[in-house]
Structure 1
């Protein structure tokens, strides 16, 4: 019998769940020395209920690779059910960013449909990621507990009048309130029985430590995001005392490799996850990671023999599921063997440009889960009139792909739209606008006749930010642009370059020291003066220091404005047959010293 978690869940308490399953082999009860626990994991779903039109490059039997169409919540649910059926001793977990930065069919409804769909999948835990905080902690608490309280500009409960909240537990061990308690429980336990033997798995959920620099600061006010390794290590003794035989860290932080999605070599593993792993307690058995949208399966003992745990990630958007098998000796209560594979969630073919990504007979194909398919259809029908509304025309696609200077056509186009919306004196008198690249979530590709539809705009800008105009001096703008290369997670190796509006140009030289990299700032051909005041537009995420651009906080004479997506729509409507701008406003010179 499975004991279900019941709400409300008091903050700080541990979640206890049990799954009892007896052996089906006569005379086997009590005789088997080991019990195999199956973990099923995914991460970075980002509300992708419909197939995301992505393919996995997978090995082909005769050599080379084949593109396998992947993703879609209805197919994902069937794949999860198939994995569950292989072993009654199972747990399903997500490593964060289940919601946030979602396509319109979920985002328009505050990601309620994603929570409902995942409820139907029957998962156990989700380690809270940074994007779960996109709309603030009060809205995130609503995602757990349910209800229709309004915390955003969007209206909750538009389709389901009694939003139930998540029937799985959100875990956030290192997300701490001012009173020292965690926003959500730190850990969860799940116990499996086989005859008289019993194995308990302890789960530790960790949020990205850098979350405050990745979301609107107001949404995480009063919260501290503590070190991932220190937090996990401190919790392990308590989990052991409660009977946990297996320790699983589910963490919204990750890395990248230089090999395929299911290659076990760990080749080229890099990223922020590495120093965390090297400091984790060796008693950890598995680390299920996310955040980077990269897929990998790695026996970390090949890299650090003192840390012989498995490291996994299932990529992004529900295109993969990670199947992890842990063999536990029921006498010693230790893991004696572990293995993992990333499984492609293959559901349906799709057309991409002139090419069709067909179903591959080399890999399993899953059918749609009828309940989730019907749920998605219900929300899609409500959204359809808005999604299909033509809002303008483009003469060519606008890509978010970065140029060598790390600006993009689409980022520049959005900045232009925000400048146009705030240039009138009554709207703020803006002279310059900046757009953050992380806020541009999809390319903007017009239809055959150039039509651009509202659903596409929403896919590009799903966050619902307001425009804000502030006064900054030329010196402050220079300091702001310096933060692209040396502020928090913005570094020379991983710069986050702001996308500028028309008329503003500058150069940066990576060979120069910090504080002296920005050169030649001009507005309409006139050099910016350090002591002169300029009116600058940004979205509300940046306005409060998002992406670690803290100089925005120094702005004065603040004036709020329209929603970013409304400004974009108005710009397209005001410019029939709009030609996307060139990505030539920033010049990169020099190399990293």
Structure 2
């Protein structure tokens, strides 16, 4: 075929089309681009896990359709992993956080191995940030730093890396209000995560910190050289820094909390009270959400506070990984602010168990989760390794000894009596006449429940007393003894009636003024003489002012003795089985 050239006239339509296209493109260039849409970010939050790698035989109580309440068996690291995975699937963007006490006061299989299993389980689950809590400091600064960085350096009585090498936490500890001798924070004050790209990207900043009263809750040598600053001041400094650095939202992870009243409801906020409230009253409007802990309570609250255009969202997920708080933030990347927020506590329903009140079975009213295989296998390695310690029968008891009321109780009950009696017996050689046990030092499951033949295992004792505190015996006058007991009711900390050993009893009246609430003390049936000197035994934690009983530090002529759990083991080691001391030794005579 021959080539036929086109005339200039034939090219005109094509030129016109091209010119039209350029004109159209020029017109489009003048139309502003649509702003990026809001970005939703999921924040999955826990608190007070306490090394609960196995199902903790705990229930989350919730309203039933008939108006009553019922308990749902919950918890266990493998089930928690599945719950977190399910919640992540509902968010395009998410981050997983903890508000402290991830470790210590833990289950036997975690505590025995220095909570390396708890950290390892959280690595598998995909935790991003953990605020330090008071229990993070139980084994001291060096051991806490080892949990972050890994390694096998020994800082405690127990051997690290006993099961496998320990690489440390892949998540980041945060400590905005804990400063070292150099004035730097022990861990970073803040962390950030950015989601999306370009103009549609948003950054969420996290502030992590513990309660300023932490030094009163751990051994002094564990926090030597550290300073614990005011919570609200630390939060506001960190929030300013995060906003200045471009954060579009600020989430606080604080190991302090509150309690609600009325019927149990993990979604409720009725009658919220507690030490978290004065902190919230001073928190900057730059903070969008506060994830709290410490009280082992579950709630979802919206707090209207001065200077805020929208309520502050406050949450807590109870204890032992039995709940996960599913928080959704809707963030406008153009305005650089949160435009909507919501939260719900999700029960980590796991395996049924038998409680003292009967079987706690599963329910279809909330989702059921299967254990995630990799986490289950990981936990099983440590449980198996602990069996040579845990299954040993070490004593006998003629029935269950309990501390009723869980962590909310100020009484030690029969279990507190038993421990105090054991500590008195173990220190008679140092002249001890009285021993005291602090109820809040009795850890989960708050019961020593022997087998049918009355036998108890070492694991059962260790779960109750996992801290390896030494007993200390010293001298106090009767007047000093009264002043110490008054500190349990001075409104400076949660009410806590020290549990005395057999032979000592006291009465208290909460209607009387602070400092005058102890209305009677007797030893072996005789009134305590204010001027006389008495030999008193407590743990070294209390002896150094722990749990706000600072006046124990006035003790004189101190003698150190056995480790607390060893004293308990010795007390119940002989047959016939030890009687359960269920008498009431500290009597509340407050008028109704």
TM-score (norm 2): 0.89
SS at match of 1:573: coil
Gaps of at least 5 residues in structure 1 are: 1-28
SS at match of 1:415: helix
CA deviations on 1:317-374 (whole Å, 9 max, x unpaired) are: 1011011111111221211111111111112222224732222222222221112111
2:276 is the counterpart of 1:280: no
**What corresponds to 2:350 in structure 1?**
347
**What corresponds to 2:15 in structure 1?**
none
**What corresponds to 1:16 in structure 2?**
none
Query: Structure 1 residues 302 and 63, CA, compared in 2 at 3 Å: closer, same or farther?
Result: farther
**What corresponds to 2:11 in structure 1?**
none
Q: Show the 5 A alignment for 1:352-367.
A: 352-353=355-356, 355-367=358-370
Match 1:36 to one of 29, 40, 58? 40
Count of equivalent residues: 555
**Alpha-carbon contact 2:219-2:544 (below 8 Å) kept:** yes
Whole-angstrom CA distance in 2 between matches of 1:320 and 1:293 = 11
**What corresponds to 2:116 in structure 1?**
112
2:190 is the counterpart of 1:190: no
**What corresponds to 2:536 in structure 1?**
536
2:457 is the counterpart of 1:414: no
**What corresponds to 1:309 in structure 2?**
312
2:147 is the counterpart of 1:146: no
2:438 is the counterpart of 1:440: no
**Alpha-carbon contact 1:93-1:124 (below 8 Å) kept:** yes
CA deviations on 1:451-482 (whole Å, 9 max, x unpaired) are: 21111111111111111111222222122112
**What corresponds to 1:561 in structure 2?**
561
2:80 is the counterpart of 1:76: yes
**Alpha-carbon contact 1:146-1:165 (below 8 Å) kept:** yes
**Alpha-carbon contact 2:303-2:312 (below 8 Å) kept:** yes
How far 1:378 moved relative to its partner?
A: 0.8
Larger fraction in helix: 2
Query: Structure 1 residues 355 and 488, CA, compared in 2 at 3 Å: closer, same or farther?
Result: closer
How far 1:97 moved relative to its partner?
A: 0.7
**What corresponds to 2:102 in structure 1?**
98
SS at match of 2:55: coil
SS at match of 1:416: helix
CA deviations on 1:59-88 (whole Å, 9 max, x unpaired) are: 445765543221110010111122222223
How far 1:148 moved relative to its partner?
A: 1.4
**What corresponds to 1:218 in structure 2?**
221
SS at match of 2:559: strand
Q: Please say which of residues 454-463 and 59-68 is displaced more in the overlay.
A: 59-68
**What corresponds to 2:376 in structure 1?**
373
Whole-angstrom CA distance in 1 between matches of 2:468 and 2:155 = 13
Q: Please say which of residues 171-180 and 55-64 is displaced more in the overlay.
A: 55-64
Match 1:338 to one of 332, 336, 341? 341
Whole-angstrom CA distance in 2 between matches of 1:302 and 1:342 = 23
2:183 is the counterpart of 1:177: no
Q: Show the 5 A alignment for 1:392-403.
A: 392-401=395-404
CA deviations on 1:86-106 (whole Å, 9 max, x unpaired) are: 223111100001111111011
**What corresponds to 2:24 in structure 1?**
none
**What corresponds to 1:159 in structure 2?**
163
**Alpha-carbon contact 1:49-1:376 (below 8 Å) kept:** yes
**Alpha-carbon contact 2:292-2:316 (below 8 Å) kept:** yes
Q: Please say which of residues 502-511 and 386-395 is displaced more in the overlay.
A: 502-511
SS at match of 2:304: helix
**What corresponds to 2:26 in structure 1?**
none
**Alpha-carbon contact 2:411-2:439 (below 8 Å) kept:** no
How far 1:533 moved relative to its partner?
A: 2.5
SS at match of 2:247: coil
Q: Please say which of residues 255-264 and 228-237 is displaced more in the overlay.
A: 255-264
Whole-angstrom CA distance in 1 between matches of 2:527 and 2:271 = 44
How far 1:382 moved relative to its partner?
A: 1.3
How far 1:195 moved relative to its partner?
A: 5.6
Whole-angstrom CA distance in 2 between matches of 1:241 and 1:347 = 43
CA deviations on 1:225-277 (whole Å, 9 max, x unpaired) are: 1111111112222111211010111111111223544435x321111111111
**Alpha-carbon contact 1:465-1:540 (below 8 Å) kept:** yes
**Alpha-carbon contact 2:470-2:560 (below 8 Å) kept:** yes
How far 1:587 moved relative to its partner?
A: 2.9
How far 1:304 moved relative to its partner?
A: 9.1
How far 1:505 moved relative to its partner?
A: 2.1
Query: Structure 1 residues 65 and 405, CA, compared in 2 at 3 Å: closer, same or farther?
Result: closer
How far 1:144 moved relative to its partner?
A: 0.9
Whole-angstrom CA distance in 2 between matches of 1:280 and 1:137 = 28
**Alpha-carbon contact 2:69-2:264 (below 8 Å) kept:** no
**What corresponds to 1:526 in structure 2?**
526
Q: Show the 5 A alignment for 1:283-298.
A: 283-298=286-301
Whole-angstrom CA distance in 2 between matches of 1:296 and 1:303 = 22
CA deviations on 1:15-42 (whole Å, 9 max, x unpaired) are: xxxxxxxxxxxxxx98751111110000
**What corresponds to 1:324 in structure 2?**
327
